[in-house]
Amino acid sequence: MTGNDDRTTMCERWVDEVTCVGCDPQKTSLICNALFSSLPDIHHVVDLPKTDNERSLIIETVAAANDLLPKLGLPDSPISEARIHILADDEFDAKFGHRCRGKCAYSHVYLRRQTDLVDFAHKLTHELAHLLSFLAIEVTAATQSDDSRDLQILPRRSGLSLYGLEPAMDDPLFNGLNEAMTEIVAHDLRLGLAEHSQILSPDDLRLLAKSWLYLPQIKIVLYLRNQLLEADPDSNPQRELHQDYLAGTSRFLNRLYAHNRPALLLLRTMGTKPDEAFRAADALGCPEIMDDIRHFYDQEPDPQPPK
């Protein structure tokens, strides 16, 4: 049974779809309503007190998000500061590993304490984009238990990533596509900060707007977007990508399936590593993108936004 979210746009958005499995039917509605209202901090972190600058950047980034969403035909999404956790390095390393800089899980964002505000804003915008994306979860409950701690919560779709369809794979399907789209939305938020930020200087904002994660994957996605636009100049595949990512539709993927099924299959398994994007570019017959990826890892990346 799937719960329907009928909350007003003034409520915080936590999860878009909840499916209950193995649960007493009488409890299904109760569980769905509870999880629509909030999701647990599964990592049980101890928050550092937020600095004034961190708090201001969070408020400004949420304001940028609420400017962006209506432009895409989507309701704004009030987000409380409590959903964004700032952790000390030792706790962050213990929970997420020393190589990780930020994490989003079940509508909670986890960030390291950063002294560089541009670096902090860069990680915040990326993880906040994950938080804004469509989220569907599956909840398994013991029939005889009323204890919420007995609930097993698993992701089924997060943004464009699909979980549990290929048990033999460690990563979800469309993982590289999802991270590319996360970074595109994050870049939208960084541009939006230019209208809201009282904390970052003009030079800071310019540096922030030139910073990209997952650039090889982004180049693959934008190449395919441009293909679809050339095939149908009246379409808007970029808007479809945004709506698929944020609202859980599949318009871009369906359009790509109809136009170039092999490309869709490449996106399905393309991960987040540079060599995976390189192999996808090779399979698509895109030597220019292959050269761009070589350039990206042979020297400093081109700071210009991808075209």
Query: CB-hemisphere CA count at 13 Å for 42?
Result: 15
Cα 262 to Cα 255: distance, rounded to the nearest angstrom: 13
User: For residues 6 and 231, what is the distance between their CA atoms, to the nearest angstrom?
Assistant: 38
Q: Check: CB of residue 220 under 8 Å from CB of residue 209.
A: no
Q: Which residues does 221 contact at the CB level (< 8 Å), separation at least 6?
A: 177, 180, 181, 184, 241, 267
Q: Are 107 and 43 in contact (CB under 8 A)?
A: no
Q: What is the pLDDT of residue 89?
A: 94
Residue 57: per-residue pLDDT: 95
150 or 128: which leads in pLDDT: 128
Higher-pLDDT residue of 164 and 247 is 247
Q: What is the pLDDT of residues 24-37, one digit of tens each?
A: 777 787 788 888 88
Helix, strand or coil, per DSSP, at residue 10? coil
Q: Which amino acid is residue 204, in one-letter code?
A: D
CA separation for the pair 60, 233 (Å, rounded): 35
C-beta of residue 223 within 8 angstroms of C-beta of residue 263: no
pTM of this structure? 0.90
Residues 251-295 have pLDDT tens digits of 999 999 999 999 999 999 999 999 999 999 999 999 999 998 887
CB 252, CB 141: distance < 8 Å: no
Q: What is the pLDDT of residue 146?
A: 62
- At residue 303 the predicted structure's pLDDT band, cuts being 50, 70 and 90, is very low
Beta bridge partners of 112: 87
Q: What is the pLDDT of residue 170?
A: 75
Q: Which residue has the higher pLDDT, 143 or 241?
A: 241
- pLDDT surpasses 70 at 142: no
Per-residue model confidence (pLDDT) at position 255: 97
pLDDT over 90 percentage in the chain: 70
What pLDDT score was predicted for residue 298?
A: 64
The pLDDT value recorded for residue 305 is 45
Q: Where are the beta strands (DSSP E) in the chain?
A: 2-3, 17-21, 84-87, 102-105, 108-112, 135-140, 152-158, 161-162
Residue 149 has pLDDT above 70, yes or no: no
For 52-81, write each residue's pLDDT tens digit. 999 999 999 999 999 999 999 898 878 999
Give every strand in the sheet of 84-87, ordered side by side.
84-87, 108-112, 102-105
- Position 252: which residue type? F
CA atoms within 13 A on the CB side of 109: 27
3-state class (DSSP) for residue 118: helix
Q: Which residues contact 200 (CB under 8 A, 6 or more apart)?
A: 57, 117, 118, 121, 193, 208
Residue 101 has pLDDT above 70, yes or no: yes
- What pLDDT score does 147 carry? 60
Describe the chain by its helix, strand, coil percentages, rounded to 5.
55, 10, 35
Give strand pairing partners of 195. none
pLDDT, position 6: 39
Count of CA atoms in the C-beta half-sphere (13 A) of 105: 15
Report strand pairing: 135-140 vs 17-21: parallel
Which comes out higher in pLDDT, residue 296 or 207? 207
Kindly report the CA angle at 124 between 246 and 33, in degrees rounded to 5? 50
Per-residue pLDDT, averaged over 127-150, amounts to: 82
